[in-house]
Amino acid sequence: MSETPIRLLIVDDHPIVRDGLRGAFAGTAEFEVVGEARDGGEAVTRAVALRPDVVLMDLRMPGADGVEAIRRLQQEAPEIRILVLTTFDTDSDVLPAIEAGATGYLLKDAPVDDLLRAVRAAAKGEAVLAPTVAGRLMGKVREPAHGLLSQRELQVLKLIVDGATNREAAAKLYISEASIKTHLLHIYEKLGVRDRAAAVGEAFRRGLVS
């Protein structure tokens, strides 16, 4: 155990979650919670002022979200380690957070002992990933871009890139608009994006369309 406690900043928009996390670290002198923040903007301001060793960062918050806060902290205080602690493990959450500079990614249902170990590792600059998150990242590395999408999803994506509306795409493929919406949700998930415009950009970036 280090003589100097690991200094923590807790970032979450739910007070009850912040209280619970503070309580998880209260039972040992190994950790010191130096502050809290309720959104990404406040997280950056407080982290720059307090200089914690590790920031426990939620992702989906009102105003500036966690990913935006991670990017800003990488620019303003790159020495601070950021451990994402969230409920979500979809590609559209995991990949942007890791790319923005998060040291680790843990889910809120993790046992307290796992959380404490993750904070210790993050403080040393070691990567910490929840098992499901690690599996997703490995899948991204191993799977070729074209193999991510089914044949039907590629057809839908190409029509969307060409500017077709959901109704037009449904008519061309002889399926319902509801089916188009379902395919689009799967496409967003697999490409790690959240909307139509981002899917089009990612399709060109990955060479899925020309």
Domain end point (choices 90, 119, 140):
140
- Regarding whether 151 and 133 lie in a shared domain, the answer is no
- Asked whether residue 51 falls in the same domain as residue 150, the answer is no
Per-residue pLDDT of the chain (210 residues; tens, 9 = 90+): 447 999 999 999 999 999 999 999 988 899 999 999 999 999 999 999 999 999 999 999 988 889 999 999 999 999 999 999 999 877 778 888 888 889 889 999 989 999 999 999 999 988 888 877 776 665 555 455 555 788 899 999 999 998 899 999 999 999 999 999 999 999 988 888 888 888 888 888 888 876
One domain for residues 127 and 165: no
Q: Are residues 25 and 105 in the same domain?
A: yes
| Residue 80 is assigned to a structural domain of this protein | yes
Give me the domain span that covers residue 179.
145-205
Phi, psi of 58 (to 5 degrees): -75, 160
In a domain, 172, yes or no: yes
H or E segment and range at residue 199 = helix 196-205
Residue 159 included in any domain = yes
In a domain, 210, yes or no: no
Q: What gap in Å lies between CA 184 and CA 157, rounded to an integer? A: 8
For the chain, the first-to-last Cα distance in angstroms comes to: 56
Q: Are residues 177 and 156 in the same domain?
A: yes
The four Cα atoms 67, 73, 79, 82 give a dihedral, to 10 degrees, of: -30
pTM: 0.65
Reduce the secondary structure of 65-84 to three states and give it as a string: CHHHHHHHHHHHCCCCEEEE
Verify that 23 and 70 share a domain, yes or no: yes
Number of domains in the chain: 2
